[in-house]
Chain A
Amino acid sequence: MKKILLAATAALLAAGVSFGASAADKLKVGFIYLGPIGDLGWTYQHDLGRLAMLKELGDKVETTYLENVSEGPDSERSIEQLARAGNKLIFTTSFGYMEPTLKVAKKYPNVHFEHATGYKRDKNVSTYSGRFYQGRYIQGIIAGKVSKTGVLGYIGSFPIPEVISGINATMLAAQTINPNIKVKIIWVNTWFDPGKEADAAKALIDQGADVIMQHTDSPAAMQVAAERGKLAFGQDSEMIKFGPKTQLTSIMNNWGPYYTKRVKAELDGTWSSNDEWDGLKEKMLVMAPYLNMPDDVKKLAEDTEAAIVAGTLHPFKCPITAQDGKEVECKGGKNLDDGQILGMNFYVKGIDDKIPGK
Chain B
Amino acid sequence: MGLLEAIILAVLAASTPLLLAATGELVTERAGVLNLGVEGMMIVGAACGFGGAWLSGSVIVGAICGILAGVAMSLIFALMTLGLAVNQVATGLALTILGVGVSGLIGSRFVGEKITPAPKLYIPGLTDIPFAGRILFGEDAFVYLSLALIVGVSWFLYTTRAGLILRAVGDNHVSAHALGYPVLRIRMFAVMFGGACAGLAGAYLPLAYTPFFIPGMTAGRGWIALALVVFSSWLPGRLVIGAYLFGAVTILQLHAQGAGFGIPSQFMTALPYLATVIVLVLISRARTGGSTAPAALGTVFVPDR
Q: Is B126 an interface residue (CB 8 A)?
A: no
Asked if A160 is at the interface of the complex by the 8 Å CB criterion, the answer is: no
Chain A 185-217, CB-CB to B under 8 Å as 1, else 0, gives: 111111011111111101110110100000000
The answer, among A4, A38, A185, A204, for a CB contact under 8 Å with B214, is: A38
Query: Could you mark each residue 192-203 of chain B with 1 if its beta carbon is under 8 Å from any beta carbon of chain A, else 0?
Result: 000000000000
Decide if B265 touches A39 in the complex (CB within 8 Å): no
Hey, which chain B residues are within 8 Å of A203, CB to CB?
7, 10, 251, 254-255, 257-258
| Interface residues in A114-138 (C-beta closer than 8 Å to B) | none
Give CA–CA (A220, B262) in the complex, Å: 26
User: What is the bound-complex CA distance between A39 and B112, given in angstroms?
Assistant: 9
Q: Please give the distance in Å from A135's CB to the nearest CB on chain B.
A: 22
Q: In this assembly, does B104 line the interface, its C-beta being within 8 Å of a C-beta of chain A?
A: yes
Segment 240-295 of B: residues with Cβ below 8 Å from A:
250-251, 254-255, 257-260, 262, 264-266, 268-269
The answer to whether the Cβ of B191 comes within 8 Å of any Cβ in the partner chain is: no
B254/A200 in contact, CB under 8 A: yes
Q: Chain A: which residue is nearest B263 at the CB level?
A: A356
C-alpha spacing A40/B258, complex, angstroms? 26
B114 interface residue per 8 A CB criterion: yes
Q: What 0/1 readout, one digit per residue, does chain B (157-188) give for beta carbons within 8 Å of chain A?
A: 00000000000000000000000000000000
Q: Is the CB of B100 closer than 8 A to any CB of chain A?
A: yes
Contact: B114 with A356, CB < 8 Å? no
**A209 vs B215: C-alpha distance in the bound complex, in angstroms?**
29
CA distance in complex: A288, B156 (Å): 55
B residues less than 8 Å from A36 (CB atoms):
104, 214-216
* A194-B43 Cα distance, complex, nearest whole Å: 13
Identify B264's interface contact among A204, A352, A357, CB under 8 A.
Answer: A357
Residue of B nearest to A217 (CB): B214
Query: Cβ of A12 and Cβ of B97 under 8 Å apart?
Result: yes
Which of A189, A202, A354 is close to B266, meaning CB atoms less than 8 Å apart? A189
Q: Cα distance A206–B13 when bound, in Å? A: 15
Q: B interface, how many residues as a size bin?
A: 35 or more
Q: How far is the CA of A277 from the CA of B208 in the complex (A)?
A: 40
**Which of these, A159, A196, A207, A354, contacts B258 with CB under 8 Å?**
A207
Q: Which of A4, A198, A242 contacts B114 (CB 8 A)?
A: A242
Please, which residues of chain B bring their CB within 8 A of the CB of A185? 257-258, 260
| Interface of B, helix, strand, loop or mixed by DSSP | helix
Chain B nearest CB, measured from A331 CB (Å): 29
Contact of B212 among A207, A242, A357 (CB under 8 A): A242
Q: Indicate if the CB atoms of A223 and B100 lie closer than 8 Å.
A: no
Known: A195-B209, A202-B10. A2 touches B216 (CB 8 A): no
A279 proximal to B (CB < 8 A): no
Q: Given the complex, which residues of B lie within 8 Å of A204, measured CB to CB?
A: 258
Set of chain B residues within 8 Å of A242, measured between Cβ atoms = 114, 212
B265 touches A159 (CB 8 A): yes
A186 touching B254 in the complex, CB below 8 Å, given contacts A202-B6, A241-B114, A357-B264: yes
List the B side residues contacting A2 at CB < 8 Å: 220, 223
B3 and A5 form a contact (CB under 8 A)? no
Bound CA span A148–B26, Å: 48
Chain A positions 139-191 with a Cβ under 8 Å from a chain B Cβ? 153, 156, 159, 184-190
The 6 A-B residue pairs whose C-beta atoms are closest, nearest first, are A187-B265, A36-B215, A193-B219, A356-B265, A38-B111, A206-B6
CB pairs A–B below 8 angstroms (27 shown): A1-B223, A2-B223, A4-B93, A5-B97, A36-B214, A38-B111, A39-B215, A40-B111, A40-B214, A68-B100, A68-B216, A153-B258, A189-B266, A192-B219, A194-B212, A195-B221, A200-B254, A203-B254, A206-B1, A206-B6, A206-B10, A206-B255, A218-B210, A242-B212, A356-B264, A356-B265, A356-B266
Q: Taking beta carbons and an 8 Å cutoff, which residues of B are in contact with A?
A: 1, 3, 6-7, 10, 13-14, 17, 36, 39, 93, 96-97, 100, 104, 107-108, 111-112, 114, 205, 209-212, 214-217, 219-221, 223, 226, 250-251, 254-255, 257-260, 262, 264-266, 268-269
- Which residues of A approach B to under 8 Å, CB–CB? 1-2, 4-5, 8-9, 12, 35-36, 38-40, 68, 153, 156, 159, 184-190, 192-200, 202-204, 206-207, 209, 218-220, 223, 241-242, 352-354, 356-357
A5-B39, A354-B262, A356-B264 are known contacts; what are 9 more A-B pairs with Cβ within 8 Å?
A: A38-B108, A39-B214, A184-B258, A187-B265, A195-B14, A202-B6, A352-B260, A356-B266, A357-B264
